[in-house]
Amino acid sequence: MKYKLIVSDFDGTLRRSEGGISEGNARAIKEYVQEGGVFALCTGRMISSILPYAKQLDLHGFVVAYQGAIIQDIASGEKLRDARIPNEDAVSICRFLESGGQHIHVYDGDVFYVNMDDDFRRWYEHACDVRGILTDLQISETVEKEKICPHKILVACTPERRNTIYADLSAHFGERFYVTTSTENLVEITAKGCNKGDALRYIAGSLQIPIRDTIAVGDNYNDIPMIEAAGLGVAVSNGEQALKDAAGFVTKTCDEDGVGYVIRKFGLGENL
């Protein structure tokens, strides 16, 4: 087996457009693991939102949440990385976003706070099967009062606003924090170094697997660091063009078992 570790994004990559994991992808993952490979999920979601899927796939070892701010052992629940934004900085970031009237989420472990009860909240909660806490105060005041050091701060916005918000946040906070975008509607901030490429290197190093023997699969800008870090970086064909440009291979879409195709072609060495 040339590629001993495959790390996959979830939304837009392994997850189908309408939700869930296809039988074809699940079967390919099971066969790869049975042959001795390691398969891991790496997502911007919170742990409580991704862990059920890791357990559904009967995965062992690591699961990555919040772009890499949390790396957790699936079986024991032990957090091998738990990187947070300092409270004072989180308050400043939230105040900056509030000045622009943004829809904001602040994530603290398995809890997230939201400042607006609107369609963005309902869409996000439905997609990720989680429930946020609507703040009575300004969300910056809640962060300050509760002394929250968040794993992630998120902005939900229209596709037309995403690039502007991303550019503004990068200009103001990009030197000290990791700013990225994971869908056309989301811009996210984590601690510096908490990106998927760093998470991939951590997992590979922990398992003593050479980085050249790894595959990473993704669909969006936040997946570029792990696509570039992996021995073979793969983009699903429904992904962003920038990711495809960075990838060494473009697979089928998330609705055509693109991850399963990669596993069979490169992980199991089938002649496809």
pLDDT digit string, tens, across residues 80-105? 999 999 999 999 999 999 999 999 99
Q: CATH code at 212? A: 3.40.50.1000
**pLDDT lower than 70: segments of the chain:** none
Q: How many Cβ atoms sit within 10 Å of the Cβ of residue 8?
A: 27
**What pTM value is reported for the model?**
0.94
Q: Does residue 233 lie in a domain region? A: yes
Residue 47 covered by a domain:
yes
| Same structural domain, 104 and 179 | yes
CA dihedral 80, 71, 112, 156 (to 10 degrees): 150
Same domain for 253 and 170: no
Among residues 140, 165, 191, the one where a domain terminates is: 191
Domain boundary among 170, 191, 212: 191
Residue range of the domain that includes 177: 87-191
Same domain, 184 and 107: yes
Which structure tokens are listed for 86? 């300092």
CATH of the domain at 167: 3.30.1240.10
259 in a structural domain: yes
- Residue 74: its pLDDT value, please? 96
Among residues 268, 187, 196, 211, the alpha carbon closest in space to that of 13 is found at: 196
In a domain? residue 94: yes
Task: Look at residue 272 in the predicted model and tell me its pLDDT.
Answer: 83
Determine whether 210 is exposed, middle or buried from the number of CB atoms within 10 Å of its CB (0-12, 13-18, 19+).
Answer: exposed
User: Number of folded domains in the chain?
Assistant: 2
